[in-house]
Amino acid sequence: MISYCSIEYLLIFLPVVFLGYQILPKSVRRYFLLAASYGFFWYLSGPLLAWHVAVCVCVWLTGLRLQHLLNERNKAVKAAERGQRKAIKEACAGRMRRWVILAGVVCFGILLSLKYTPFFVENLNGLFRHLGIHIQMKVPSFAVPIGISFYTLQAMSYVYDVQKEKIPADGNFFRLTMWLSFFPLLMEGPIARYGSLAEKIWEVPRIQGENFQKGLWRILYGVMKKMLVADRVNTAVELLYTDFANYDGGMVFLAAVLFTLQEYMEFSGTIDIVIGTGECLGFVLPENFNQPFFAKTISEFWTRWHISLGAWLRDYLFYPLSMSQPLKNLTKKCRARLGNHYGPLVTSSVALFAVWLFNGLWHGAGWSYIFFGMYHFSLIVTGSFLAPPVIAFCEKHKIDRKWFFYRLFQMLRTALLVSIGEMFFRALSLKHGLSMFARMIRHASLSSFTDGTALKLGMDLPDYLIVAAAVLFVFVISLLKERGCNVRERLYAKPVLVRALVTGLLVTLILLFGAYGKGYVPVDPIYANF
């Protein structure tokens, strides 16, 4: 599959887009950018583009309808007596809700039909077999448009935001479509909100030297992460996840760690390229990662990893559910009995269950993804449940929770739990994932690290050294960012010769140490399939 790290994208598509964007007049430039986005979509998904257009038309019309209802309501409220206003608002809210539900049925209906029907039919067939019912349906197979899970969430966030009057509906179909199809965001996000981006893209500012240079560094940094680490460990990851039964627990643990590393470098590297592309054009796209492996708890990890998905789930699922009347009533009852920590924990557990079920299923139609969601749900709820006794324990035994080694322990523990979760996520099936976990425990051994097995996974010693050096480089950059240092800003303040040297050095590192050519299979964009 073509990726943002491919030659086609970086050396053909991007230069053509940048050049066309810069030389065309403003009135044409925005349509050129829209055409480039749809051209990119067509290149990846062909006629499946029609599904995307259908979603754009649906949310555009829904937005206009909602805005019309809001305008009518405001007029009626203005003219009404104070006592009647509440009833007018409630009547309007009911009508708007029906339109939002209709848009949800269309948008999520397309997503569910194309992506999840085979999974449901397979499971239904399995259930029938189990119950001895002699009905077996043919499992359908549908081609799925690129990035459908991402743009569906974006589209629904627009409808919800219009309904809640956070943004006005957009009367310009092309502006709305541009935001929903903007080519850097198509494959792996981040899930950008209409309010923060649509208007800015539509302004299509000219490319500025400073933005372009900083964007280029960000792109090179992303390419480096992907080609030096994610692609280089790919052969080993493929081998270990396919043939795990032939290896001991140490190697299965290595599989978990290598995939976690690969996924982070691939996903965050792609996001670097995406944000860098936006920056070159003069747009600030939302960040999706904030040094996730410095997180001390799983809850914190999810505020630093795939931030835009977490924020979407928080704003459009967690809080609306937690603030629904039944759950509010439950919160009140539980607070009265269990106090201010455990009371809301009961309510939020109900909302979190829905969030993590959605999160798991969003990643893919498979039981391993549902398990992945439930795994993180359990860890987060357990973490919240244990927080008060852990704090009490630390206070009683005079353990400073801000002490470096205590925080290091928390970070390593979180990274370990995340890696185990990622093992289930990457495993070929849930059954494989459970077998891998069992093997890791039952056949725990470090012998394969010393008997040469680790060097027979398609990675030799130089491969490990290159990966280690690249990871160290990313760690240093992350540490600087964590401490508030903006590396690119500092670099930009240096003389042009230094900047050129650094740019050249990054390109040289990629060309010399990137994993490409004979013997290497680049990893497919992991999140593009979601």
Partner 1 sequence: MERLYEILEEMQPEYDYHTETALIDDHLLDSLTVLALISELEDEYDITIPAVEIVPENFNSAQAMWKLINRLMEE
Residues binding partner 1 (CB under 8 A):
164, 166, 299-300, 303, 314-315, 318-320, 322-323, 328, 331-332, 335, 340-341, 343-345, 347-348, 384
d(CA 332, CA 505): 60
- Report, in Å, the least distance between residue 40 CB and partner 1: 33
Q: Which is nearer to partner 1, 328 or 456 (CB)?
A: 328
Residues sharing a CB contact under 8 Å with residue 397, sequence separation 6 or more, in sequence order: none
Nearest distance, CB of residue 22 and partner 1, angstroms: 37
Query: Which single residue is written with the structure tokens 């002490």?
Result: 403
Rounded Cα gap, residues 311 and 309, in angstroms: 5
Q: Identify the bridge partners of residue 305 per DSSP, sorted by sequence position.
A: 289
* Choice between 42 and 403, CB closer to partner 1: 403
Nearer to partner 1, 181 or 384 (CB): 384
- Residue among 108, 76, 120, 436 nearest 255 (CA): 436
Helices (H) and strands (E) in the chain, counts: 23, 0
Nearest approach in angstroms of CB 96 to partner 1 is: 13
CA-CA-CA-CA dihedral for 348, 354, 356, 362, to nearest 10: -150
In this complex, which beta carbon is closest to partner 1, that of residue 122 or of residue 315?
315
Question: Least distance from C-beta 335 to partner 1, angstroms?
Answer: 6
Instruction: Count CB atoms within 10 A of the CB of residue 132.
Output: 6
Q: Least CB distance from residue 262 to partner 1, whole Å?
A: 29
Closer to partner 1 by Cβ: residue 177 or 299? 299
CA–CA dist 231, 225 (Å, integer): 9
Closest of 28, 251, 95, 189 to residue 528, by C-alpha: 189
The answer to whether 313 touches 358, Cβ cutoff 8 Å, is yes
* Least distance from partner 1 to the Cβ atom of residue 75, Å: 17
List of residues 6+ apart from 471 with CB closer than 8 A = 229, 261
Q: Which is nearer to partner 1, 238 or 300 (CB)?
A: 300
Q: Which is nearer to partner 1, 120 or 342 (CB)?
A: 342
Rounded to a whole number of angstroms, the minimum distance from the CB of residue 381 to partner 1 is: 11
Distance CA 363, CA 526 (A): 10
